[in-house]
Copies of this chain bind each other. A is one copy, B any other.
Amino acid sequence: MGNDEICLSFLVRQAWLNMRSVMDSALATHDLSVAQYATLLVLDEQPGASVADVARAVASTRQSANELLAGMERATMVERHPHPQDRRSQKIHLTALGRSRLEAARPVVHARESELEVGFDAGERAMVREWLARMARAGHD
């Protein structure tokens, strides 16, 4: 599959794979995986989220999210507390360490992402995001 569009979806996939690779490189010096970074972002935005909340937010499964969170808990990036109203569930929070690691990595990731878009103006960028948002949710009856 060269540059000719054989299938739009695979063009998006290749964009994602490359962006993931770029991000992986950016996060390497911070000793964070892409999945860990995503999880830190989610917990920053949704403090006290449950495992299931995290899984949904990162478009994954509860099982995968749980395993990832277990590792991050061991690394003291996150902490879990019993949920005060729901005995099946937990509230998960960033630790101070988790937060500082996120704040260290975030500008680096953003800078790398910005570099990728050099040459596209604000209108084009906005339009692309609109398109991506559509792609992210369309097609389900």
Contact = CB atoms under 8 A, between A and B. Distances in A.
A7 B23 CA distance: 10
A31 to B, nearest CB: 18
Contact of A139 (B37, B58, B112): B112
B10 A113 contact: no
A122 interface: no
Interface stretch (A66-74, A75-83, A88-96, A124-132): A124-132
B9 A113 contact: yes
Contacts of A136: 11, 14-15, 17-18
A5 interface: yes
Q: Bin the interface of chain A by size.
A: 35 or more
Interface string A87-126: 0000000000000000000000110110111011000100
Given A58-B1, A127-B127, A11 B45 contact: no
B9 A20 contact: yes
A54 B108 CA distance: 34
